[in-house]
């Protein structure tokens, strides 16, 4: 069982500066941080799994301690497969607490060796979520202050193809 590695699971739809801040903090504590990107079918992600992985890989390429992989199935099965039982989760505010607490306890019920370590991002990122970033992008806002360049680029691309601009009414 490795205590030198930790798994940071999430949807990362898309990765934000909040996630990157948590990854950097985890990499100060652990030798390897395995970012496990959940397929998240139930959540109907905007980005495909390969796209979410590609954005994360590009955004963490400067840190050799970070590994980005796909996560399908139960987190506890993945943990057992890798022999890594330390999970990282981010806590932004009290609003995250209830869900995260429930998840941590459920995971420990499923696998007694599993421990969850909560990390808090820099204050500037506590209001950031993938959901709010997608909302800003959909409404045409600039997302560069919130997400790394690969994610900003992919957001522009996907929203251009999924929401074409309204057609001009030539009779007006
Ligand atoms: P999930 O769908 O599993 O919640 P997310 O990608 O939304 O996946 O989040 C993964 C983890 O990162 C969660 O623990 C979440 O609380 C945390 N997180 C998300 N955004 C931030 C942020 N801005 N700062 C710190 N942690 C964050």
User: Hey, what domains does the chain have and what are their CATH numbers?
Assistant: 5-126 (3.40.50.620)
Minimum CA distance residue for ligand 1 atom 26: 90
The pLDDT of residue 169? 45
Minimum CA distance residue for ligand 1 atom 8: 10
Contact predicate 4/32, CB 8 Å? yes
The pLDDT of residue 171? 42
In whole angstroms, give the CA distance from residue 151 to residue 75: 25
Of the candidates 4, 43, 113, 138, the residue annotated as catalytic is: 43
The pLDDT of residue 2? 61
Taking phi over 0 as left and psi of -120 to 50 as alpha, with beta for the rest, 73 belongs to: left
Q: How far is the CA of 53 from the centre of ligand 1 (A)?
A: 15
Q: How far is the CA of 11 from the centre of ligand 1 (A)?
A: 8
Q: How does DSSP classify residue 2?
A: B
Q: How far is the CA of 15 from the centre of ligand 1 (A)?
A: 9
Give every residue of the chain whose pLDDT is below 70, as ranges. 1-3, 161-172
The pLDDT of residue 162? 64
Of the candidates 25, 52, 89, 92, the residue annotated as catalytic is: 92
In whole angstroms, give the CA distance from residue 129 to residue 159: 18
Contacts for 158-162 with beta carbons within 8 Å, 24 or more apart? Answer: 158/46, 158/47, 158/51
With a threshold of 0.75, does the pTM exceed it?
Answer: yes
Ligand 1 neighbours, Cβ below 6 Å, are 10-12, 16, 18-19, 22, 89-90, 92, 96, 121, 125, 128-130
């Amino acid at each position: 069982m490795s205590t030198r590695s930790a798994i940071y699971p999430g949807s990362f739809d898309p990765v934000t500066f909040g996630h990157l801040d948590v990854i950097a903090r985890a990499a100060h504590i652990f030798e390897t941080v395995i970012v496990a990107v959940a397929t998240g079918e139930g959540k109907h992600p905007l980005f495909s799994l390969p796209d979410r992985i590609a954005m994360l890989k590009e955004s963490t390429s400067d840190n050799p301690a970070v590994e980005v992989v796909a996560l399908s199935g139960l987190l506890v099965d993945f943990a057992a497969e890798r022999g890594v039982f330390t999970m990282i989760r981010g806590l932004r505010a009290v609003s995250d607490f209830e869900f995260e607490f429930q998840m941590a306890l459920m995971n420990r019920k499923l696998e007694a060796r599993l421990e969850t370590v909560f990390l808090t991002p820099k204050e500037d990122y506590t209001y950031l979520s993938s959901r709010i970033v997608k909302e800003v992008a959909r409404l045409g806002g600039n997302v560069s202050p919130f997400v790394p360049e690969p994610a900003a680029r992919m957001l522009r691309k996907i929203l251009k193809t999924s929401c074409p601009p309204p057609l001009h009414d030539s009779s007006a």
